[in-house]
Amino acid sequence: MSLFISQAHAAAAPAPQGGGFEMIIMLLVFGLVFYFMIYRPQAKRVKEHKNLMSQLSKGDEVLTQGGVVGKITKVADDKDFIVVSIAEGTEVTVQKGAVSAVLPKGTMKSL
C-alpha cells in the first residue's frame, strides 16, 4: 500500500505564539510615524491657509489656485468671496479659499 500513498509523518511542533506586546509596540510606532509625517504637517498647512484667508484686505495682490494674478478690489466679510481685478476694467469674483498666496506689492507691474 505504501506504493501509492505516501506515509504520513508527524508534523513538527508549532512555533510558540508570541505575546501581543510586540504588535502593540509596532502599532504605536506606526501611529507616531503617521502623526509626524502626514497629519501634523497637513494640519500646519491648513492653519496657515486659514490665517492667510482671514488677513486678506483690499489692495493686496494675490495668486489664485487657477494661476490668476490680480489685485483685490472688494472683500465681503459676511461671505467667503472676494473681487479680484486682473486687468483694467476686468474683475473676477473668487472664493477666499481659492487664494493660494499673497504676493508682494508691485508684482503685477513687474509681470
- Please name each of the domains of the chain with its CATH number: 22-110 (2.30.30)
How confident is the model at residue 93, as a pLDDT? 94
Percent of the chain with pLDDT over 90: 64
Q: Are strands 81-87 and 69-75 parallel, antiparallel or unpaired?
A: antiparallel
**Its pTM surpasses 0.85:** no
How confident is the model at residue 109, as a pLDDT? 86
Collect contacts of 34-40 with beta carbons under 8 A, ≥24 apart. Answer: none
Q: Which is higher by pLDDT, 8 or 111? A: 111
Strands of the 90-95 sheet, one edge to the other:
90-95, 81-87, 69-75, 61-64, 99-103
Residue 110 has pLDDT above 70, yes or no: yes
101, 67 contact by CB (below 8 A): no
How confident is the model at residue 16, as a pLDDT? 64
